[in-house]
Chain A
Amino acid sequence: DAGVTQSPTHLIKTRGQHVTLRCSPISGHKSVSWYQQVLGQGPQFIFQYYEKEERGRGNFPDRFSARQFPNYSSELNVNALLLGDSALYLCASSFLTGSHEQYFGPGTRLTVT
């Protein structure tokens, strides 16, 4: 079975631009969570979605938004990019909301110049 997939793998954006990151969960998983991992730090929770509804939000500005589609895939959007948004963005899926059996994708490496 395929694991969690994320696209793109890498991308480079300029300050002020907008970016969309995509995630496909493991088949049958209904919950998707997004994390930001800055170099040298642990992942920080951004959002969790379950059955297309937001179930949790971390301490991130409103420039960050997300949504989940009927097929349970998800998008993370970041507006007005700042240099500090450069990070590895990880998506994790689980069968239930808040499930502690989270499976992580390989991440999208975002570089903002």
Chain B
Amino acid sequence: AQSVTQLGSHVSVSEGALVLLRCNYSSSVPPYLFWYVQYPNQGLQLLLKYTSAATLVKGINGFEAEFKKSETSFHLTKPSAHMSDAAEYFCAVSGPSRDDKIIFGKGTRLHILP
């Protein structure tokens, strides 16, 4: 069975400050891990994904995440927050098999303070 836990349903950071969104996973198979972003009234957009290659993954819009097997974590970071980063962020886990489904966390809403 697979699951993800996102720590903090709401996170607020000042514009220009570091963004850190936390995600811990549980998986009985080597995990594939994802971060998605959802802007109001829109679908989900893939930010980045880890598929067992490099442990530091760079995504779009300046975001990156590091896979840490020892900590079962896949935290999302961005060095400098921008107002346009305000959105809901979802961490998700899947397995390497084609038949593995994607399991999403409950989401973290990121607020950017001026």
The total number of A-B Cβ pairs within 8 Å is 57
Binds A, one of B12-20, B37-45, B58-66, B78-86: B37-45
CB distance from B69 to the nearest CB of A (A): 19
Does A18 have its Cβ within 8 Å of any Cβ on chain B?
A: no
Binds B, one of A63-71, A76-84, A100-108: A100-108
Bound form: Cα–Cα A70–B97 in Å? 25
Chain B residues bordering chain A, tally (CB within 8 A): 26
CB distance from B98 to the nearest CB of A (A): 3
Which of B45, B100, B107 is within 8 Å of A42, CB to CB? B107
Bound form: Cα–Cα A92–B94 in Å? 15
Instruction: Verify B32–A104 contact, CB threshold 8 A.
Output: no
CB distance from A36 to the nearest CB of B (A): 11
Q: Closest residue to A103 on the B side, CB-wise? A: B46
CB distance from B107 to the nearest CB of A (A): 5
Instruction: Verify B99–A90 contact, CB threshold 8 A.
Output: no
Contact of A58 with B101 at beta-carbon distance under 8 Å, contacts A43-B44, A100-B51 already known = yes
Q: Closest residue to A96 on the B side, CB-wise? A: B98
Bound form: Cα–Cα A103–B51 in Å? 17
Instruction: Verify A40–B43 contact, CB threshold 8 A.
Output: no
Chain A residues bordering chain B, tally (CB within 8 A): 25
Segment 81-113 of A: residues with Cβ below 8 Å from B:
90, 92, 96-107
Instruction: Verify A41–B107 contact, CB threshold 8 A.
Output: yes
Bound form: Cα–Cα A65–B9 in Å? 32
CB distance from A7 to the nearest CB of B (A): 13
Q: A40-B106, A43-B44 are in contact. List 18 more A-B contacts (CB 8 A).
A: A4-B43, A40-B9, A42-B104, A42-B105, A42-B106, A48-B101, A90-B43, A90-B44, A92-B44, A99-B98, A100-B49, A100-B94, A100-B102, A103-B46, A104-B36, A104-B43, A106-B41, A107-B42
